[in-house]
Amino acid sequence: GRVISRCTSADDDAVAREARDVTGLNAPDIRRVAVISVHTSPLAQPGTGDAGGMNVYVLETAKELARRGILVDIFTRATSSLDPHSVEAAPGVTVRNIVAGPFEGLGKTDLPSQMCPFTAAVLREEASHEPGHYDLIHSHYWLSGQVGWLARDRWGIPLVHTAHTLAAVKNASLAHGDVPEPLARQVGEQQIVNESDRLLVNTDEESQQLQHFYHADPRKIDIAAPGADLAQFTPGDKLQARKTLGIDPAEKVIAFVGRIQPLKAPDVLLRAVGAMLDADDTVPVRVLIVGGTSGTGQHGYSLDAIAHEVGIEDRVTFLPPQPAKDLVTVYRAADVVAVPSYSESFGLVALEAQACGTPVVAAHVGGLGVAVADAVSGQLVDGHDVHDWASALREIVGNDELRARYAHAAPIHAAQFSWGHTVDALVECYRRALGAAVPPSSQLTPRRVAGRARVLRRKRNYSR
Residues that bind ligand UDP (CB under 6 A): 46-47, 52-54, 56, 257-259, 290-291, 321-322, 324, 327, 346-349, 352
Identity of the residue, 276 or 363, whose beta carbon is nearer to ligand UDP in the bound complex: 363
Identity of the residue, 347 or 435, whose beta carbon is nearer to ligand UDP in the bound complex: 347
Question: Measured from the CB of residue 183, what is the shortest distance to ligand UDP in angstroms?
Answer: 22
Question: Measured from the CB of residue 347, what is the shortest distance to ligand UDP in angstroms?
Answer: 5
Question: Measured from the CB of residue 175, what is the shortest distance to ligand UDP in angstroms?
Answer: 13
Question: Measured from the CB of residue 376, what is the shortest distance to ligand UDP in angstroms?
Answer: 20
Identity of the residue, 229 or 335, whose beta carbon is nearer to ligand UDP in the bound complex: 229
Question: Measured from the CB of residue 264, what is the shortest distance to ligand UDP in angstroms?
Answer: 7
Question: Measured from the CB of residue 378, what is the shortest distance to ligand UDP in angstroms?
Answer: 14
Question: Measured from the CB of residue 179, what is the shortest distance to ligand UDP in angstroms?
Answer: 16
Residue 429 to residue 219: CA distance in whole angstroms: 11
Identity of the residue, 380 or 434, whose beta carbon is nearer to ligand UDP in the bound complex: 380
Identity of the residue, 150 or 334, whose beta carbon is nearer to ligand UDP in the bound complex: 334
Question: Measured from the CB of residue 69, what is the shortest distance to ligand UDP in angstroms?
Answer: 26
Return the axis-axis angle of helices 141-155 and 446-463, rounded to nearest 10°. Answer: 80
Identity of the residue, 53 or 188, whose beta carbon is nearer to ligand UDP in the bound complex: 53
Inter-CA distances, 409 with 333, 387, 394, Å: 17, 26, 20
Q: Cβ-closest residue to ligand UDP?
A: 52
Identity of the residue, 119 or 354, whose beta carbon is nearer to ligand UDP in the bound complex: 354
Identity of the residue, 134 or 256, whose beta carbon is nearer to ligand UDP in the bound complex: 256
Question: Measured from the CB of residue 189, what is the shortest distance to ligand UDP in angstroms?
Answer: 17
Identity of the residue, 263 or 427, whose beta carbon is nearer to ligand UDP in the bound complex: 263
